[in-house]
Structure 1
Amino acid sequence: MAKATEAPAGSAPSAPTNFTFSPSLAPFKLSLQAYLGAHPTFKGIAVGAFVFNEDGKLLLVQRAAHDSLPLLWEIPGGACDFEDESLLHAVARELWEESALCAKSIDTLVGEGIPFSTRRGTRMCKFSFLTQVEGYDVKLDPNEHQAFLWVTEEEAKAGRCGDVDFLYTFKEQQLAVYEAFEMMKGKATLN
């Protein structure tokens, strides 16, 4: 398990915006305001990035002890901002802010959106995407996450990687992890 490290203050460039995306993701090329206008059931949107390294291992990050859902594990992601050019730009921004990984391409949606309510009762939906990155040098923001793991499918299902036992933030996150591994297997058979 790797612990959070932080880039020196003021040295981090802004989130990269030169990623590509699959034409199938055009519905997510909308700004948050436009997306919410077309989907009034929700008051906010969250996004996540499933990142697999060259060994086929998935990046999981552990939430900081002082944050909500302390010490639980998830994929990098977070809430879309009204300043994001699109929901896809929010994926790239959240991935960058939480892991310092640069999105090269956002390939496909994993599953369907997962509706949820915040602690304050705000109705939201989370969309997560298979995302290719440039390099795998993870640097966490310790205000949000305190450790990361690269896990195999077997480790993801066992909730154990090496000597680290981990629990997911939500059952839906756990099931989405399993689905992402299945999707990656499907992509491997096509290549």
Structure 2
Amino acid sequence: MTTVPVSFSYSVAPHLDEFSVPRSDFAVSHPELTDFVVGAFIFSRGDNNSAPPRVLLLQRALSDSWGGYWDFPGGSSDATDSTILESLAREVYEETGFHVSRVVELVSVDNWERVTPHRVRNVAKFSFIVEVDEAGTQVGRSSSDEGQKDIVQRATIWEDSVKLAADEHQAYSWATEDEVRESVEGDSGKFQFMGKEGRQGRNVLTAFRKLRELA
């Protein structure tokens, strides 16, 4: 597992302040819930920020639950996280290596029950559009040929610098809205999404719509 920084630095859109309260206070204000999950939609518009937006999707490791299915970065909020949004920043870092710089918009809230031997757990997943520090940058990669001392710096666009957690994900893709829609609404798409009837895929389409509304 990736070593996680002690703290994260990011801004939050003012209308999302309710998610910036201490996690314990947030839990008290939602007594019907036992568990919190977070998700992040990270978008790219290419080098010049003018290309059609693409969203980062992750394919779950075959050894994990929902193995082979696609989702977006995210995971469980831990009791040790100071806020729900810190959970979001932590999960993004652990699963992609990216650093959240701004939490922009709430996209969806999903609720489900998780049955355990001892109780029924009520779960809510809060998914947000986020911006990351790495967006629009080039990342230097060092390499050298066999027997040569000179090190060549090879620049790659930030979209290619995703650092997957191997025990959780096996592949990533930057997908267009059409590609997601074809997978959600058609039979020939390349993404099979997590959730009942591919619910998380429909959330991705909602994120594209929310992104247009923010423009």
TM-score band by shorter chain is 0.7 to 0.9
Give the one of 187, 191, 194 matched to 1:169. Answer: 194
The aligned residue for residue 30 of structure 1 is 21
Gaps of 5+ in 2: 47-52, 135-157
Quick one: distance in 2 between partners of 1:74 and 1:65? 13
Q: Quick check: 1:97–1:141 contact (8 Å CA) kept in 2? A: yes
Counterparts in 2 of 1:96 and 1:123: CA distance versus 1, 3 Å? same
The aligned residue for residue 211 of structure 2 is 184
Structural mapping, 1:48-127, within 5 Å: 48-55=39-46, 56-111=53-108, 113-120=109-116, 121-127=120-126
Quick one: distance in 2 between partners of 1:117 and 1:140? 28
The aligned residue for residue 45 of structure 1 is 36
Task: Give the Å deviation of 1:31.
Answer: 2.9
Question: For the aligned residues, what is the CA RMSD?
Answer: 2.0
Give the number of the structure whose alpha-carbon radius of gyration is greater: 2
Q: Which has the higher contact order (CA 8 A, sep 6+)?
A: 1
Quick one: distance in 2 between partners of 1:42 and 1:13? 27
Task: Give the Å deviation of 1:159.
Answer: 2.2
Quick one: distance in 1 between partners of 2:113 and 2:169? 22
Quick one: distance in 1 between partners of 2:41 and 2:191? 17
Q: List 4+ stretches of structure 1 deviating above 3 A.
A: none
How many residues are aligned here?
176
Gaps of 5+ in 1: 1-5
Counterpart of 1:76, as a letter, is P
Q: Quick check: 1:32–1:45 contact (8 Å CA) kept in 2? A: no
Q: Quick check: 1:61–1:145 contact (8 Å CA) kept in 2? A: yes
SS of the equivalent of 1:50 reads: strand
